[in-house]
Structure 1
Amino acid sequence: MTQARTLGEFKKSGAKTVNVKEEMRRNLIRKLESGETLFPGILGYDESVVPQVANAVLSRHNMILLGLRGQAKSRLLRSLTNLLDPALPIVAGCEIHDDPLRPLCRRCRDLVQERGDETPLFWLSPDDRLVERAARGGHDLASELTMHYGLLPRAHRGIFALNELPDLAGRIQVGLFNILQEGDVQIKGYPVRLPIDVSMVFTANPEDYTARGKIITPLKDRIGSEIRTHYPATVEQGVAITQQEAWTERGRELRVPRYIREVAEGIAFAARRDKKIDKRSGVSQRLPITALENAISNAERRAVLRKETMVVPRVSDIYAALPSLTGKFELEYEGELMGADNVARELIRASVGEAFSVYLGSADLRPVVAYFEAGGNLKLRDDASSGDMVAQLRKVPGLFEALSHLGIGGGEPTPVTASAAEFVLEGLYGQKKIGRSDDRGFVAPERHSDADIDLEKLERLRRMKKQVN
């Protein structure tokens, strides 16, 4: 349909305007009937969060998403614009997106009365109808014509998204009562009450939301649906999200082995289980995304230095990505004693060990382990070229025979072979079947007697006590 340029043209078209929640409900039903994806780019929520959001929209509820950081809450809220009409007519120049058939503000009422069917219209896109920040301030002017509207009135006929609701001051929370229950808002300093047509959506951390005194109880009562988000349920889901979000197109030929993707993802899963990391803060899904990007960058830098045309990340590149890991989690007391870098290295090692079990759990690697137990060692440089690395790795008997478990044959490019062979050694180290030292590289595993282990525990307790005192 051609977009009407004036109020008269709009009336002649026979089109009507509807309440924003009814508009979202209608478009949601149409998408469900046609089998369309409701929220493109939102992965891992099809069986949990998305149905609950759909139910809230069908119920015409205001809603809140409760979840830890990095669970795509803000992205999901922004995706609600997919349920808005492609274009919405407003009175041209209106700050609050006035309905040309039912104008609210004084300016638009006067304009329609003065120009009638010649009143000019403007059409808003769905993205123009999303407002995401809290309103501030106001003016001391008393005339309705000089009134400055806050962000909430500017969300009229759209979606108002407020992130981290518990951080909102109590007096402002009280100010939301009317819009949530009665659907109107009072402009501070003016004898004006505006009936606002808006869908209200919020986000919050579950612990803050349930903490006494953070949220005024009547405000909770006025929010129709409370939906809990979550981290990916499986490594496969996480890999799919990271693959979608990570920036990997760098201009050079790039091959990211599947096991490298799973190692990067497994770090987040290991961190969410680790007692040294604060569960209340969560471990953002941004962790594996930035880890993979940084690992690729390290591999890219090496390829440029060694004049290699193909970029293939290795496990050592993930260890080089520590700066992208340590800011993504909060440490408990024991973790603080160890230090963020050491905790991150432990997480990488655990993740490599788990990925190794998946791919090489059935491989016969006894010759490899025997080589190191017999006194062999292998020190690999992080910036070694693929050719040099493969030449060094060939010293280890039985190593390259195991690569078939990774789908690596004799015809693979050298960078791919180097990455796979290093993964085998890193996996054995992750499972503590071989050791590794800064001076000698991969070596025989350390053997601890029960007495040694007890002494280590006592020393750790002594250090912790000293720290407390």
Structure 2
Amino acid sequence: MTRPTTLGALRATPHQHRSVKEELRTNLVAALRSGASAFPGIVGFDDTVLPQVERALLAGHDLVLLGERGQGKTRLMRTLVGLLDEWTPVVEGCEINDHPYAPTCTRCRRLAGELGDELPVAWKHREERYGEKLATPDTSVGDLVGDVDPVKVAEGRTLGDPETIHYGLVPRTNRGIFALNELPDLAERIQVALFNVLEERDIQVRGYLLRLPLDVLLVASANPEDYTNRGRIITPLKDRFGAEIRTHYPLEVSEELVLIRQEAQLAAPVPDFLLEVVARLTRGLRESPSIDQRSGVSARFAITAAETIGASALRRSALTGEADPVARVCDVPGVLPTLHGKVEFEMGEEGREQEIFGHQLRVAVAETFRDRLRGLDLGGFSNRFAEGSTVETGELTRGDELLDQLGTIPGLAKVLERLDLGDAPSHGEVASAVEFVLEGLHLTRRLAKETVDGVTYYGA
């Protein structure tokens, strides 16, 4: 559809001027009534966080999201853009996105007086109406609100001319959504500059007699104040936010699994049961007394682990010529040391990091093994070792080599069915399932295991 390019043409359409919060409210109500997802890609918040966010938006409140690292706060803030109208009119060339019906800056008011219905109109997509700033200690008031532009002064304008102002990020997001990440990191004297934005909905720049009624939704994220040493949200600023919403990690293993599938970019296939092991490992670390739970275990831990396990399978393929690289249980222990930096251990646990990771991994594999293969007759696997034979495997053992050592295994088809590997699994998937069963039998004390120089031997 051709969009109007002048004020007069815009007045001839049914378009109505709404504030950004009215816009968000109307579109959210429409989404709720239609049953459509208003927050695509957000996992595990359906019954906890999202209802609170919806109430805050419907009430027209600015909000702050409190939660440990890697809980999806930034992702949630960015999905709010989808609740804005796809296109909105602005005065062409306006730095702060003035609406043609109600211009507020000096330049746009002057143009509206001079041009009348010929005032040029441009259109902005909703993706252009979102601004985001990571709050760092060196952030200034000028960055957020604005300051005098020395270049404009040098061009001949006087210091008293309001058009010498260079607008900051907040006014440049006028008629949109402004997100401030890690709000406590912002110096307290800078937080004071946000008072007027949140309450009086305007800004003040140096000594100018300037009042810009801003139309903006302000969303901030923060870590819980009771353990952050970097700063705090000052009390008057907290009071000006309409809603304070606490986020959390996925409450169920199934939700963690959905998140991993959604976010991980895998270099080689990683079977679902192995992703479930990663999800249970992440959950186990979050519940472990050896881990500093005030810091948390980010969802990025699980995502990175899954990606690295896939990369390990691809590495095996490159080194051994394996034609069908699929991740196996043997790929997991080798990637854990690279993830130490994502977890903070309690005082007194120094030197035990690998031991703690190893224990949690064994628990995760055993739980997944019991959950997936409970009640299944695995005698075909254990009988293979009745006469004292062994099977050799490892991260550089090809899948076909592993399968050749075992030969035909009674009951394998039922195992593959339980592990959701389909009617025609590849050799790599079969090898992954077989190794998972061998590890599960070992962890349930039905099979011995020994690892020497990176090579694992399963036997009677």
TM-score range, shorter chain: 0.7 to 0.9
- Deviations, residues 4-44 of structure 1 (Å, cap 9, x unaligned): 11112112224221111111101111111222111111122
**One-letter identity of the residue aligned with 1:126:** R
Q: Measure, in 2, the Cα distance between the counterparts of 1:328 and 1:432.
A: 32
Of the structure 1 ranges 115-124 and 186-195, higher mean CA displacement relative to structure 2 is found in 186-195
Of the structure 1 ranges 383-392 and 66-75, higher mean CA displacement relative to structure 2 is found in 383-392
Pair 1:379-2:395 in alignment: no
- Deviations, residues 379-425 of structure 1 (Å, cap 9, x unaligned): 31312222111123459x87958835546799643222211111112
Of the structure 1 ranges 171-180 and 400-409, higher mean CA displacement relative to structure 2 is found in 400-409
The aligned residue for residue 219 of structure 1 is: 237
- Deviations, residues 132-183 of structure 1 (Å, cap 9, x unaligned): 1156333365221111011111111111111111111111111111111111
Query: Could you tell me which of 391, 395, 418 is aligned with 2:404?
Result: 391
Change (3 A) 1:162 1:431: farther
Question: Offset at 1:362?
Answer: 2.7
Change (3 A) 1:193 1:320: same
The aligned residue for residue 29 of structure 1 is: 29
Q: Measure, in 2, the Cα distance between the counterparts of 1:180 and 1:386.
A: 60
The aligned residue for residue 275 of structure 1 is: 289
Question: Offset at 1:91?
Answer: 0.9
Question: Offset at 1:125?
Answer: 0.9
- Deviations, residues 357-389 of structure 1 (Å, cap 9, x unaligned): 112333455786688798655431312222111
Matches for 1:99-248 after TM superposition, within 5 Å: 99-133=99-133, 136=140, 137=142, 138-139=147-148, 142=159, 143-208=161-226, 214-248=232-266
Across the two proteins, how many residue pairs are aligned to each other? 439
**One-letter identity of the residue aligned with 1:220:** K
Does the residue aligned with 2:96 lie in a helix, a strand or coil? Answer: coil
Pair 1:331-2:349 in alignment: no
Q: Verify the 8 A CA contact 2:185 2:231 in the aligned structure 1.
A: no
> Scaled by the length of structure 2, what TM-score is found?
0.87
Q: Measure, in 2, the Cα distance between the counterparts of 1:302 and 1:170.
A: 52
Q: Verify the 8 A CA contact 2:63 2:245 in the aligned structure 1.
A: yes
Question: Offset at 1:444?
Answer: 7.2
Structure 2: segments with no counterpart, 5+ residues: 154-158
Question: Offset at 1:227?
Answer: 1.1
CA RMSD of aligned residues (A): 2.9
Matches for 1:4-153 after TM superposition, within 5 Å: 4-133=4-133, 136=140, 137=142, 138-139=147-148, 142=159, 143-153=161-171
The aligned residue for residue 319 of structure 1 is: 333
Change (3 A) 1:409 1:219: closer
Q: Verify the 8 A CA contact 1:399 1:424 in the aligned structure 2.
A: no
Question: Offset at 1:430?
Answer: 3.9
The aligned residue for residue 344 of structure 1 is: 357
The aligned residue for residue 299 of structure 1 is: 313
- Deviations, residues 174-204 of structure 1 (Å, cap 9, x unaligned): 1111111111111234331221111111111
Of the structure 1 ranges 69-78 and 314-323, higher mean CA displacement relative to structure 2 is found in 314-323
Sequence identity, in percent? 44
Change (3 A) 1:286 1:431: farther
Q: Measure, in 1, the Cα distance between the counterparts of 2:62 and 2:424.
A: 58
The aligned residue for residue 156 of structure 2 is: none
Question: Offset at 1:48?
Answer: 1.4
Change (3 A) 1:349 1:402: farther
Q: Verify the 8 A CA contact 2:390 2:457 in the aligned structure 1.
A: yes
- Deviations, residues 276-315 of structure 1 (Å, cap 9, x unaligned): 1110111111112111111112212323444444332101
Pair 1:359-2:377 in alignment: no
> Scaled by the length of structure 1, what TM-score is found?
0.85
Query: Could you tell me which of 426, 440, 458 is aligned with 1:427?
Result: 440
Of the structure 1 ranges 148-157 and 330-339, higher mean CA displacement relative to structure 2 is found in 330-339
Pair 1:441-2:456 in alignment: yes
